[in-house]
Amino acid sequence: MLKNNKGITLIALVITIIVLLILAGVSIAMLTGQNGILTQAKNADNETSLAEVEEKVQLAVSAAYAAKLEANPTDTSNLTTHEVFTQYNSDNDPDATAETGTGFTVGDYTVKLKQSGKVFTVEVTE
């Protein structure tokens, strides 16, 4: 006489649970590890913020030159850090603070301006 067994065995259930735990472990490691998706997203956000501040400062430098030449087309003097700082705050919300001789602070970032002739090199650091 043949028995008609229906259902799953305990061994099949344990193997299925082990496979699911392995998959969950790999997924969690992919999300939160040192090279995980969350870490990469945070790093990308920081790099984007740095680039945004740098671009705004470059635009402020160009706008300050334009304003200076518009006010006096024969003015050949170099820009000062204060003029760039003032232009940055007039173009953006006044979030630039703590002006120093070589730069200023924007939020959590330090902006250093290096001038060579009429060219400013912008360096933004956290």
pLDDT in tens, 37-89: 888 999 999 999 889 988 988 898 889 888 888 888 887 778 888 888 888 88
Say how far apart CA 37 and CA 43 lie, in whole Å.
10
* The pLDDT of residue 2: 65
Distance, C-alpha 28 to centroid of its chain: 25
Domain ranges in the chain are 37-125
**What angle do the packed helices 37-71 and 10-32 form, to 10 degrees?**
20
* The pLDDT of residue 121: 81
* The pLDDT of residue 20: 96
- 120 or 43: which leads in pLDDT: 43
Whole-Å CA distances, 112 to 109, 118, 121: 10, 16, 8
Neighbours of 75 (CB within 10 A): 11
Residue recorded with tokens 């602070």: 105
DSSP 8-state symbol, 94: S
Asked whether the predicted pLDDT for residue 120 surpasses 80, the reply is no
Task: Give the global pTM.
Answer: 0.70
Q: What is the pLDDT of residues 14-33, one digit of tens each?
A: 999 999 999 999 999 888 88
Neighbours of 19 (CB within 10 A): 10
Strands 119-125 and 103-106: unpaired
* The pLDDT of residue 16: 94
Asked whether the predicted pLDDT for residue 119 surpasses 60, the reply is yes
